[in-house]
Amino acid sequence: MLGWEFPPIINGGLGVACHDLSAAMSDVSDITMIVPKSSKGYKVRNVNLLGINNIDPGSLEPGPAHKDLPFKLYGVPANIDPYYSEKQHFSGEGRSKGTLDPFDIDNLYGGDVIGKVHRYSAITASLAAKMDFDVIHAHDWMTMLAGMQIKARTGKPLVMHIHSLEVDRSGPESKGWVYQLEKKGMEYADLLMPVSNFTASNIEQYYGIHRNKMKIVHNGSNKVQPFKGQRTYREKTVLFVGRLTRQKGPEKFLDIASKVLDSNPEVRFVMAGTGDYMKSLLDQSSYQHIGNRFHMTGFLGSERLNHLLSISDVYCMPSVSEPFGLSAVEAAQFRVPCVISKQSGVAEVLRGALKFDFWDVDKAAGYILHLLKDDVFNRKVVEDTGKCLDKISWDISAQKIIDAYSEKKFI
């Protein structure tokens, strides 16, 4: 299994998902997870965790790089940093000229990320060449090149787990290097595992790959012990959690807030997260005269985030394009009613949640207003959403993956 961000380096949902999924799978199969960085003492259940920061690249035999790949990847700079960090510098392929360079893994998405992807794949391919395994399971574009190289060298079946696509992050027009890599990678793979129907449709629509090559595996979620926190102010609270980037629809949240406050001024809207939209959101919120009801907390650790969930009255996720949306499941676990966009994967599994098209601000505002004043309705939504939670587990996801392997006769 090939991963990129991984605890203790977590930037977003991907690290958590890879961690939890590999842990669940390690109960029913032998898993070796290769990631750019891991702490030496860090253990994940029965997973054989390899951080290439702990491997001396000099001890590995360099592979033939891209020679065996049936296509060429052209170097075109792309907007690939899904997170809020410094601008990356582009470097083309061909960094590994007979030697394997170690690379700076402290900032997985900053700096020369494409160079990092190349080096990761070269090192990983050499590592895998000496291993015994049945299936290559790669997570998202950062590890696709590695997966392809391993397949090219070993002939083993390649499964690509799709947590997020370039078209989610940068919009359907993006056709840069990452998009090309994703497209070639998914075409070259033997089986795709998108995390939702929503993502499967995007793969079909924007990458032209047929559904029969896909097996949908919804994300699971770890059970949390919900608690009820003490609010220190009297207004009810509507919460947004996520990066403040285009993909998450933060400006929609602002418009919804404005609408809700028009009819009910006794509500506070809180955004937990950071990103390049922060400044314009503050500007807009003051322009719309809701500055006293619109709060930003910046990036929060899990303890503070749980506290925030425990005092929230509505969770709102207006994502423009959300492959899954684990944070909504977490909110549901805290018995917070969820108002989420239809353009999300989680909408397929949280059936009880209230759903709206991300552009339909009126509808979302209507739901929120109703949840805030109608206790019967509120309880019903929480109850119905709660019923879906039992079916959202990593063990179920793991079993689905194993079943798909056997169905395809990979194992």
Partner 1 sequence: MTSMCFYFQVHQPFRLRNYSFFDIGKDHNYEDLEKNRAVMNKVAEKCYLPANRKMLELIRRHEGKFRISYSLSGTVIEQFEKYRPDVLQSFIDLANTGCVEFLGETYYHSLSFIHSRKEFKRQVEKHSAIIKKYFDQTPKIFRNTELIYNNQLAAFVESMGFKGVLCEGVGRLLNERSPNFLYRPVIGDPKIKLLLKNHLLSDDIAFRFSDKGWEQFPLTVDKFSEWVFKIAGHGETVNLFMDYETFGEHQWESTGIFDFLDHLPGAILKHPDFCFKTPSEVVEAYPARDVYDAHDFISWADTERDLSAWLSNSMQREAFRRIYSLEEEIRNCDDLQLTEDWEKMQTSDHFYYMCTKFWNDGDVHKYFSPYDSPYDAYMFFMNAFSDLECRLAEIRERKKRIYSYTVELEKTPEARSIPLNGNEPEYAQTGS
Retrieve residue 62's tokens.
């360099």
302 interacts with partner 1 by CB under 8 A: no
Residue 219: count of CB within 10 angstroms of its CB: 24
Binding flag, residue 304, partner 1 (CB under 8 A): yes
Sign of torsion over alpha carbons 35, 37, 43, 49: positive
Does 262 bind partner 1 (CB under 8 A)? Our answer is no
Beta carbon of residue 309, minimum distance to partner 1 (angstroms, whole number): 13
CA dihedral (251, 83, 304, 195) in degrees, to 10, reads 90
Cβ of residue 271: shortest distance to partner 1, in angstroms? 9
3-state secondary structure 121-156: HHHHHHHHHCCCCCCEEEEHHHHHHHHHHHHHHHCC
* Interaction of residue 297 with partner 1, rule CB under 8 A: yes
The single residue among 45, 213, 231, 335 that binds partner 1, judged by CB under 8 A, is: 231
144-165 burial, b for 16+ CB within 10 Å, e for fewer?
Answer: bbbbbbbbbbbebbbbbbbbbb
Alpha-carbon distance of 158 to 143, in angstroms, equals 12
409 lines the binding site for partner 1 (CB under 8 A): no
Which residue among 286, 357, 373, 411 contacts partner 1 (CB under 8 A)?
A: 286
Choice between 40 and 279, CB closer to partner 1: 279
**Which C-beta is closer to partner 1: that of 74 or that of 233?**
233
Smallest Cα–Cα separation from 285: which of 315, 314, 256, 247?
256
Could you tell me if 318 and 249 are in contact, meaning their C-beta atoms sit under 8 angstroms apart? yes
Asked if 227 is part of the footprint of partner 1 (rule: CB under 8 A), the reply reads: no
Write down the least CB distance from residue 296 to partner 1, Å: 6
Name the residue among 119, 195, 127 with its Cα closest to residue 164.
Answer: 195
Phi then psi for 107, rounded to 5 degrees?
-125, 90
Q: Please select the residue that binds partner 1; options are 77, 86, 287, 411, rule is CB under 8 A.
A: 287
Q: Among 18, 144, 167, 270, which residue interacts with partner 1 (rule: CB under 8 A)?
A: 270
Least Å distance, CB 337 to partner 1, is 21
Kindly tell me which of 59 and 230 has the beta carbon lying closer to partner 1: 230
In this structure, what token pair is assigned to residue 348?
Answer: 């397929």
- Sign of the dihedral through C-alpha 108, 111, 114, 117: negative
- Interface with partner 1 (CB under 8 A), residue total 24
d(CA 79, CA 245): 13
Residue 84 is a binding residue for partner 1 (CB under 8 A): no
Query: Looking at 72, 210, 234, 409, which residue binds partner 1 (CB under 8 A)?
Result: 234
* Bridge partners, 399 (sequence order): none
Least distance between partner 1 and beta carbon 12 (Å): 21
Asked if 232 touches partner 1 (CB under 8 A), the answer is: yes
373 binds partner 1 (CB under 8 A): no
- Residues in contact with 409: Cβ distance below 8 Å, sequence separation at least 6, in sequence order: none
Q: Which region among 144-152, 158-166, 227-235, 377-385 touches partner 1 (by CB under 8 A)? A: 227-235
Q: Could you give the CA distance from residue 67 to residue 103 in angstroms, rounded to a whole number?
A: 22
Lookup result for tokens 């933060």: 250
- CA nearest neighbour of 133 among 147, 116, 118, 115: 147
- Taking CB under 8 A as the criterion, the residue among 87, 210, 233, 409 binding partner 1 is 233
Q: Which stretch binds partner 1 (CB under 8 A): 96-104, 153-161, 245-253, 291-299?
A: 291-299
Q: Which position among 43, 89, 295, 379 is part of the footprint of partner 1 (CB under 8 A)?
A: 295
Is position 289 an interface residue for partner 1 (rule: CB under 8 A)? Answer: yes
Asked if residue 296 binds partner 1 (CB under 8 A), the reply is: yes
Q: List the helix and strand counts (H, then E) for the chain.
A: 14, 11
The reply on whether position 310 binds partner 1 by CB under 8 A is: no
DSSP three-state, residue 237:
strand
Residue 335 Cβ, how far from partner 1 at the closest point, in Å?
A: 21
Give the residue with the Cβ less far from partner 1, 177 or 269: 269
Q: CA–CA separation, 136 vs 123, rounded Å?
A: 15
Closest distance of CB 232 from partner 1, Å: 3
* CB nearer partner 1, residue 97 or residue 234: 234
Residue 320 CB, shortest distance to partner 1, in Å, is 23
Instruction: Return the closest-CA partner of residue 144 out of 187, 182, 88, 100.
Output: 182
Considering only the stretches 78-86, 137-145, 285-293, 332-340, report the one whose residues sit in contact with partner 1 under the rule CB under 8 A: 285-293
Q: What does the binding site for partner 1 look like in residue numbers (CB under 8 A)?
A: 231-234, 268, 270, 278-279, 282-287, 289, 291-297, 304, 307
